[in-house]
Every structure is written in C-alpha cells, then in structure tokens.
Amino acid sequence: MPYILIQVTREGVSLEQKQQLIQGATDLVVQVLNKDPQTTFVVIDEVDTDNWGVAGQSVTQLRLAQQLNTPPQK
Amino acid sequence: MPYILIQVTREGVSLEQKQQLIQGATDLVVQVLNKDPQTTFVVIDEVDTDNWGVAGQSVTQLRLAQQLNTPPQK
Amino acid sequence: MPYILIQVTREGVSLEQKQQLIQGATDLVVQVLNKDPQTTFVVIDEVDTDNWGVAGQSVTQLRLAQQLNTPPQK
Amino acid sequence: MPYILIQVTREGVSLEQKQQLIQGATDLVVQVLNKDPQTTFVVIDEVDTDNWGVAGQSVTQLRLAQQLNTPPQK
Amino acid sequence: MPYILIQVTREGVSLEQKQQLIQGATDLVVQVLNKDPQTTFVVIDEVDTDNWGVAGQSVTQLRLAQQLNTPPQK
Amino acid sequence: MPYILIQVTREGVSLEQKQQLIQGATDLVVQVLNKDPQTTFVVIDEVDTDNWGVAGQSVTQLRLAQQLNTPPQK
C-alpha cells in the first residue's frame, strides 16, 4: 500500500537511474515494513531548476554560482 | 474547501476525460460532504510512465511486458 | 495505478462518508479512465481548521465569522 | 527544514516572479518560525489549465467564459 | 535537494523502522543520484486505515476481511 | 486559484504563527501573481520530528544532538 514520492530537480536523471530509484524505494518498504511490492507505488517528480528554491534562491542560480566559483579544470 | 489531487500516468487522457474527472470529483465532495463547488479544487497530475513504478518496475516496462504477453489480434 | 488525494478540513467526516469518498473516487477513475480498482489508491487527508487558510484567514476564523453572522434559529 | 509547495496554473509565471515567490516564501518561514533558509525548500508546481478544476470546470473553460463576458476594450 | 515522501498506513511503524526508512531513502538518492544528504528531506506520512482506500474499500475493511478469511492458528 | 502547502516539523507552531503563515503566503501570491485571495488555499502540515529526516537522521535525533553540543547556559 505505500505511496512513495521522490521529488528531484530536472537535471538529467537517466532511465536507468529512474529504474534504480523505483527498485530501491520498493525494496526499502518491502524489507523494512514487509509491504507487498505489487501494491507499492513509486512516483518520481522532476522539477525545473527555476522552480526549486533553496536558501531563497532558485537551483538555477545556485548552480550558476557554483560554476563561477569552480576553478577551471586543467 | 476540498483539494483533490488525481495523479495518473501520462497515457493519453483526453480533454473530455479531464473534464469528466473534474466534474465527477467535484460532484463527489458536494454530494458526500455538502462542500461548496466554488471553492473545490481538482488538480490532475499526469506522470510519465518512466517515472511511475509499481512492483519495483516502471509502468513503461509493465506495459511492454503486457504487450509481449498479449496474443496477436486476428 | 491512480493515486487520489482528497484533502478536506477536519470537521467530523464520518466513517460512512469516508467509505463513500473512497468508493466514489475509485468508481470515477474506473468509469472515466478504465483503471483497475485493485491498484487505485484513495487517501483522505483531514486538516485541522487552524491549519487551512482561505482568503488569508484560517477556516476556524471563517467558521466563527459565519456563526456570528447567522441569525439565531427560532 | 520547511518544505513549501506553491501550486499554480501554468499561465506565464516569469522567471522574476518565480524568484520573488522563492524569496518571499523563504522569508516568511524565516521571519515567522525562525527557520534556517539553508534548509528551506520552495517548490513551484505549474499545472496546465486543462488539468485544474474549480467549481466543476477546468480553468481553461473558466478563462474562456471570462473572456466572453468581458466587454471589448475601446 | 531531494524531497522524499513515504506515505503508509498508520499500522504501528516503530521508531526504529522510521529511522531505517529515513536512512534507506537518503542512501538511495545519495548512491543513485549522488545527492547531498545534508539537503535531502525524507517525510513519513502515516495515514489512518479508515482514510486509505484500495479497490474501493478502506484498509480497515480489507484488514477485517483478511482476518475473517485466515484459518485460526493451532 | 493557488494551493500552497507549508510543511514543517511539529515543534509548537502557535495559532498566531499559523495565522501569520496563512496571511503571509496569501499576500505573496496576491502581490507577485495578482491572484484572488478568495480562491487561494494555504495548508499547514505539521510533521512529527520522528517522521522527518535530514542527512539520514530524524529531526528528533538532530535536536538531541544539538542539545548535547550546546554548552549549559550560565
């Protein structure tokens, strides 16, 4: 019966990673709570970085700031 | 005052079906709980089949397996 | 596969009403979208009236104002 | 630690408005609840007007009706 | 940045199980998506069995039916 | 039409603070997006500290650790 929502920023989560999230989250409630995987929902919600804020800034802005502060790779 | 979220996989829900879901969900809380339709929200959230997991698999995979197990139509 | 969340204020929803909401919401997605009731979740979330705001006021305040504006019953 | 979800119809919310929503919502919980902005999430969810219902109608229909009832601008 | 909601029926989830769910869900997004655990939220929402419906029935009813169908233990 | 969910840990949010959150969140979408307060919902969801995890630990544990690391007040 569990419903698991995994909300992350839309930053290139691959099909394989989505499958790992679905399998991993299902396994978690099966192992910890002995739930039936057949009636365990996992929903992955990808949110644009413009639409997700942390510390009062959008993730788009945070990522930009991170890039500016990263010394160029040799 | 009710807020109703209807989350389904993104598998071609038509405009007409969306209207039926909105009308039906609103009628439900009006009839059962005597709520005011003017302040009843219904939100339909369509989720990609890659992003919805059941029994540890994505719905994309489940649909594929269903197709493979379906005998060809004569 | 549908997940339906029905969020209402905690104002005495009876067991029977909860059952009607569960049955009605399930029937809705079965009839409109031909979904499998066995994998249709309906979750009813009751929210304290102090914790639900409309028009900038809590529902507790709104209900109070409604009572004050209602002429006494003869 | 707060998680704030702001769900609105997808009707052209600009980048600047998104930033104002993120900043404003973060400031609100910092000022009222003394929360740490570094661990305050704000998520803006934009919903298609076909997918949002009020009073049993989709917002798309409501907007259409509003336009039809608005006298032409001179 | 991930926000993970784990919604389950209120059926005696122990403190230890809650800690395992929190740790497990956090580890999942750290390992699969390389996310920072410091800004990974996990919220466990326990829902009364009267308030959770599957196949048109509340979980309370389903559990009752399961008990009636279970042969007495010798 | 906005629906705003403010999810915080259940750590003694007062009635007055709840009213400030409701008023503040409503004002925010009115000022930034010119929304109608009459159809703006604000829902405050208080979550037990056992049920909220950050960095793989429950908030209950984090608060305990914070107390142990705080030098006694003179």
Does residue F74 form part of some domain?
no
Q: Residue B74 pLDDT > 50, yes or no?
A: no
Q: Does B42 contact C at CB distance below 8 Å?
A: no
Quick one: tokens of A15? 């099909």
If one counts the domains in chain B, the total is: 1
Q: Residue D74 pLDDT > 60, yes or no?
A: no
Q: Give the tens place of pLDDT for each residue, E29-39.
A: 999 999 999 99
Does residue A74 form part of some domain?
no
Q: Is B72 a catalytic residue?
A: no
Report the neighbours of B using a cutoff of 3 or more CB pairs below 8 angstroms: A, C, D, F
DSSP A25-62: HHHHHHHHH---GGG-EEEEEEE-GGGEEETTEEHHHH
Contact between residue B37 and residue B26 where contact means Cβ atoms under 8 Å apart: yes
The predicted pLDDT at position C73 comes to: 55
Q: What is the DSSP letter of E72?
A: P
Does residue F29 form part of some domain?
yes
The predicted pLDDT at position F55 comes to: 96
Does residue F45 form part of some domain?
yes
Q: Residue B71 pLDDT > 90, yes or no?
A: no
Average pLDDT over residues E2-15: 98
Q: How confident is the model at residue D72 (pLDDT cuts 50, 70, 90)?
A: low
> Residue E19 sits in which domain range?
3-69
Nearest-neighbour CA in chain E from F51: distance (Å): 5
Does residue B74 form part of some domain?
no
Does residue A56 form part of some domain?
yes
* CA end-to-end distance (rounded Å), chain A: 51
ipTM (interface pTM): 0.94
Report the candidate in A37, E56, A35, B55 with the shortest Cα–Cα distance to residue C38: E56
Does residue C34 form part of some domain?
yes
Q: Give the tens place of pLDDT for each residue, A1-57.
A: 899 999 999 999 999 999 999 999 999 999 999 999 999 999 999 999 999 999 999
Q: How far apart are CA B43 and CA B67, in angstroms?
A: 31
Q: Does F28 contact C at CB distance below 8 Å?
A: no
The CATH number of whichever domain residue B32 belongs to comes to 3.30.429.10
Nearest-neighbour CA in chain E from D36: distance (Å): 12
For residue B2, the chain C residue with the least C-alpha distance is C8
DSSP chain C: --EEEEEEE-S---HHHHHHHHHHHHHHHHHHH---GGG-EEEEEEE-GGGEEETTEEHHHHHHHHHHTSPPP-
Do the chains contact at B35 and C8, CB–CB below 8 Å? yes
Residue F40 identity (one-letter amino acid): T
Does residue A73 form part of some domain?
no
Q: How far apart are CA F3 and CA A25, in angstroms?
A: 28
